[in-house]
Amino acid sequence: MLVGFPARFIPLVCICIFLQNLVLSSPISTSQCPMNFNYVLTIPWDSSACKNNGENSEFDASGGCCQTLISLYGIGFAQHLKQTSRFRLPDLSTSSSCLSDFQTRLNSLSLDKSLTSMCFEPHRFVNTTNICANIQTKQDWLMALGPSTSLDTGCSQNLSDLTACDACVHAGFQVQARLLAIDGNISHAKGCFYYAILYAAGIVNKFGPESAGALTCIFGLPLSLQAVSRGTGELPLISGSVGAGFAISVVLCLIGCVIWWDRREKGQEVSAGFSSLESYVDDNKLQHWEPQIGSICFKRDDLDKATKNFSSKNFIGKGQFGVVYKGKLPDGTMIAVKIIIDSDFQGDTDFIREVEIISTLKHRNLVPFLGCCVSRGSNYNEEEDKRYLVYDYMPNGNLHDHLFFSEKGKFKDGKRPLTWPQRKSIILDVANALAYLHYGVKPPENPNSFLITDWAWLLVKAGRVKEAFDPFLLEGEGSVNRYPKEIMERFLLVGLLCAHLMVALRPTILDALKMLEGDIEVPVIPDRPIYTHENVFISASTRKKP
């Protein structure tokens, strides 16, 4: 028996010794980081932005230090992708372990011991399908895009050359557009671009993610002046004035950081990650969130007052995703308020992401976006939650009001039918807006409903193109209605080509715009496949108008 040790504690001591031996003899349960961060100590990156964060100085998480560290951290992920074929880490424990290892290397450079905690959040690097096109591995990438993309030709060479770097960046945007088209969710644009970055550096570039070209071009990592001026190894000598050359390099790196690794948005807490996954579930964050680019976060009470509690007298119309009301703000500004009733938004997070994107769109052919509102229901009942989008009010009504008669055979509110120049201008404006957005939408596919494109198709194929024109455009011989029928026919054919059942035969929006403007010829419209549903449509000969 142990001298001076109470006998009643001996069983407890034995249990503790047993558990200790069990732990020591078992594999370590703590997840180990699969990435090697030794490159932090070997590559000549410029750490000056992170050396002025002492206890008495206020740390700016949106400043150059975090921007530099996210680029530096990304190198490890590109190497990880190369070795494991995985874009992200398996779980939160592994992510925390990697950040700890990364901080250890930073400590070796006498940098602040809390940098990773101030710049990163572990969950932002954990594997998930909700980033871009359900991609998690290299195999997923290949299945989505095929064995070769523009990245393979644009980013494989030495990217230290500015021309080569520019080609690689351009290829990155092209691949991002393809991924986004597959994903279908424009809020994943940033995540898709980050995946393009990792793939370009880790898989495509034959010099590897730690090469000078990858560091400066793909990751936008600032290099030290001393390393640039040495020009040893892979780092090329910069001809001419070293100072001037370095200044240009710094500017390019800063631009690269903004383009490639920009992950912060105004009004949000900044924490780095390879995708913009800020969570707005937290009520406090939601209350203080405001959209960027000058848009307004309206209060529900203000919208109630503006629309007179959404009075039926202010009802404008109803679309696929919402109901629109007219309103008037206290300063006299007329607004159109859209109540979202059906959408693909998965909660407030997706909605706010979309608002951030919409608020950046400025184009003369797009209705100006003013702001939004998120209204909570009682007891946070999701069914009572409402979301609103606020736009400039368009007093001239919508296109439908100017094209089709009302039930009484007259146009709404005494409006006159649109002349051909007006219709041509509208079509070109819509095409320009679509070209600006550079984002395709899928029309509803319902074989049991009559589509105006099928009606026009039958007339064109029967050689009766004139019957597809609005009779108003063919009335009289006066100067007002004597429109060039050849141009109207060209516009009609372009519309049919864009709506062709064979998607592969449809032109791009840019080519369609060139056809409309007469810059290129409209090709012969190919016949439809034999499995169309023309038999369900009423004969074109029995229809005077759609």
Tokens for 360, please give them.
Answer: 């950046």
Q: Are strands 369-375 and 386-392 parallel, antiparallel or unpaired?
A: antiparallel
Contact indicator for 198, 49 with CB cutoff of 8 Å: no
**What does the block give as tokens for 91?**
């779980």
Alpha-helix runs per DSSP H in 109-215? 115-119, 138-145, 150-154, 162-183, 189-199, 212-213
- 338 marked as part of a ligand binding site: yes
What does each C-alpha distance from 122 to 31, 76, 113 come to in angstroms? 13, 15, 16
- Number of other CB atoms surrounding residue 424 within 10 Å: 17
∠ CA(305), CA(310), CA(312), 5° rounding? 135
Alpha-carbon Rg for the chain in angstroms: 30
Tokens of 380: 């946070």
In the numeric block, the tokens 């039918």 are attached to 417
How many helices (DSSP H) and strands (DSSP E) are in the chain?
21, 6
C-alpha span between 227 and 233 (Å, rounded): 10
Closest CA to 102 of 53, 57, 39: 39
Mapping DSSP to helix (H, G, I), strand (E, B) and coil, where does residue 334 land?
A: strand
**296-297 and 315-318 strand pairing:** unpaired
**Using CA atoms, how far apart are residues 74 and 78, in angstroms rounded to an integer?**
6
- First vs last Cα of the chain: how many Å apart? 102
Distance from the Cα of residue 369 to its chain's centroid: 18
AA identity, residue 364? R
3-state secondary structure of 340: strand
Are the C-beta atoms of 372 and 298 separated by less than 8 Å? yes
Q: Report the C-alpha gap between 290 and 288 in whole angstroms.
A: 6
Residues of the binding site: 338
Residue numbers belonging to the annotated binding site for ATP: 338
